[in-house]
Chain A
Amino acid sequence: MAVNVCDTIPEGKKNCTMVTLISREILPVLPNRIKQLITELPADILDQLEEIRLRQGKPLLLSLTRDDVMVTEQGQPTTVAEFGYVVTDKDLMRAVQLISGSSIYAFEEEIKNGFITIKGGHRVGISGKVTTDRGRVKTIKHITSLNIRIAREITGAADRVMPYLINPVTKKFHHTLIISPPRCGKTTLIRDVIRQVSKGIPALDFKGCTVGVVDERSEIAGCYYGVPQKDVGFRTDVLDACPKAEGMMMMIRAMGPQVIATDEIGREQDAAALEEALNAGITVLTTAHGKDWEEIAQRPVLRYIIEQGIFERMVTLGRSKGAGTVEDIIDVSSGKSLMR
């Protein structure tokens, strides 16, 4: 049984939220010409919009849920590259300035990491000519590509999975690993799980508990100047742009969380930090890149973590019914699927 989390939201509401979201949060950071082109697009394309890609000298590309589309000079969607509006270096320069609020210097760290989070929690990926200093990335000098990823916040995305993640008897949250290939709604799901855990779920008689989010890539909470732009619940503390292992230790030391949430674990230090959290009696919620758990087990660190029996639940996501389809939920101790 596979469920698309997007289906849980009424169609009309989704439409209007998407268009207003784009006009309020995405358009202000686009250069005028591109802004105009996107404003003129029909609402159903805006509704499916996931990424806006600006590449110098290449046509403006909009990634939609299923395919991608270009925009002609007249503001019409097209699939022929030759007709597409070609992004100029001026467009890119303006876009970079607008994205950084005309303060590129304030985002040096972010640029080193390859992305900037803008207001509303949307991430903008950057690439171009990198200058290095003693073998380490110093800054990206000539920015030639931008990828504006529209962070969809789907309240209620986790409604279907929450019952499986909470122990019906002890009313405690299980250690959970979310496995998903890229662009399948992993972050959307973990964000909503965090929100629900933080707020509590009256229907399941689950009282909210303190959540510490170590948001290394500013993706879960979408922090803009440290303030979460997404609803992650009121019992949630966010360590923005903090290395995971260190961040988890910081959280454990001082913030006293009952649940620690991070995204994309995979390094050795992460495993050590996870164990530390377990020892402190903290529940862990995290994600990993991969198709399913067999694939995950190929990677030594993840395999080690899984073999330790840390996780009690594993949620796999896929695109079989659009982004955010929950493919499976596995009870690790018995190895059985809970959804079938």
Chain B
Amino acid sequence: MDTELIFQLAGISIVITVIYTVLKQAGRDEFAFSTLLLGIVVVLAMVIPKIADLFETVRSVFRIY
């Protein structure tokens, strides 16, 4: 389940990169930038729970309360 997430994230990153390039080429710089921002937010939203998970596990494993 976790490996899937990596590919999903990589896919999203690549697609966003291409969209950014295409829009930039068309001269829609502001559009391109906002797409990028949106992409980062989406990716962050997916990554942050994972990090939270990790920290939670670390805390429980090493008894840091």
Q: Do chains A and B touch in the complex (CB under 8 A)?
A: no
Q: What residues of chain A have their CB less than 8 Å away from a CB belonging to chain B?
A: none
